[in-house]
Amino acid sequence: MEDQNKIKDELLVVQDDSKIIFEKVKAIEITSQEKLLIANKGLDKIRSIEKEVISRKKTIFDPKKAVIREWNNIFKPTEDYLSEAKQTLKEKVGKYMKAVEKRTEEQREALEKKIESGEVNFEEGIDKMSSIEGKKDNFRTREHKVVEIEDETKIPRSYLIPDMVLIRRDALAGVKIDGVKVVIEKIIL
C-alpha cells in the first residue's frame, strides 16, 4: 500500500507539471525563429516526460499482466475441455435433430395422405399431428438470420470496402494502382 501511495504522489507531481506545460503551450504563439526554438525545446521536454510516464506504467502493469497471463494459462485447459465438450454435444444434438425432423416430416406426410384418403378422420389426424410435432419440443434452439453472398459480382460498389493495408503496402512499393496516389506529408516531430 505504501508503494501505491508513493506512486500516486509521484504521478500527481507529474500531472501538475503536465498541466503547467499544457497551459504554457496554449498561451504560446510561434511568430519567430526564437519562439520556434523554444517550441522545439518544449516538444523535447514533453517527449521526455511521456517516456518517463510510459516507463513507470510498464513497471506497474507488466508484473500484473504476467500474473493475469499465468492465471489464464491455468484456466485454459479447463475452458478448452468445456468448450470442446459443448461443441461436440451441440453437433450430436444437431445431427439427431435433423434425423427427428426428417422422420417427423415423413410421418406428417403419411398422416396427411391418410386424412385425404379418409383412412383417418380430421380431428383424429390433428391430434396425431400434434403428437408428431411435439417430438421437436425438447430441442433448445433459437433462430437467427444469416446473410450469404450468392454472387459477388452483383454487389453494389457502396458495399465494397478497400483494403487500405494492402493498398498502402503496394502503393508504397511502387505498384501503379488506378485511383490511388502517394502523397508526401510533413509531420512535426
The residue ranges of every structural domain in the chain are 2-142+150-172
Top pLDDT among 66 and 125 is at: 66
Rounded Cα–Cα distance for residues 103 and 136 (Å):
11
CB < 8 Å & 24+ apart, contacts of 91-94 = 93/139
Average pLDDT estimate for 144-150: 89
Residue 119 pLDDT > 70: yes
φ, ψ (nearest 5 deg) of residue 98: -65, -40
- Which residue from 21, 26, 27, 23 is spatially nearest to 42, judged by alpha carbons? 21
Top pLDDT among 7 and 41 is at: 41
Average pLDDT estimate for 176-181: 93
How much is the pTM? 0.55
Contact residues for 134 (Cβ-Cβ < 8 A; gap 6+): none
Q: Amino acid letter at 165?
A: V
Residue 168 pLDDT > 90: yes
Cα four-point dihedral sign 31, 35, 40, 45: negative
DSSP category for residue 154: G
Q: Amino acid letter at 102?
A: K
